[in-house]
Amino acid sequence: MPRMERGTKMPRPTEQAKAAFSALVPDEPAVTLKPMFGNLSAFANGNMFAGLFGDDLFVRLPDSEIAAVKKQGGRDFEPMAGHAMKGYVVVPSTWRAKPAPAVVLIKRSLALTLAMPAKAAKPKAAANKR
């Protein structure tokens, strides 16, 4: 998995990974796809539930379910080396070749995230008027 070291560039997903990810994310009114730091992430009610980091797919899951994903070849989601994002796990690298398990994880992640309170939109900064 690509990890950010100080002074390194953010990994970018391939167009194929973005297309595969977009095809896996449910087409529901509450779901939006948007770029995050040059990658692509899926949000529900303002909360991120899945995304790409380079060509790696990560999802939000409870700790008990993260352990199960790790046993199947997943690993901690560490956008910066040594700094794991709590509540997220990188799914096994076979997610594009064998998408069925990834679809299950994304649907579970979406259900979990939809049960969370909606994230309030940050107010837009007022333009400086002189």
The distance between the two most distant Cα atoms of the chain, rounded to a whole number of Å, is 59
> pLDDT digit of tens for each residue in the chain (130 aa)?
454 455 567 899 999 999 999 999 999 999 999 998 789 999 999 999 999 999 999 999 999 999 999 999 999 999 888 889 999 999 999 999 999 999 999 999 999 999 999 887 777 665 555 4
Domains of the chain: 15-114 (3.30.1460.30)
Question: How many other C-beta atoms can be found within 10 angstroms of the C-beta atom of residue 51?
Answer: 25
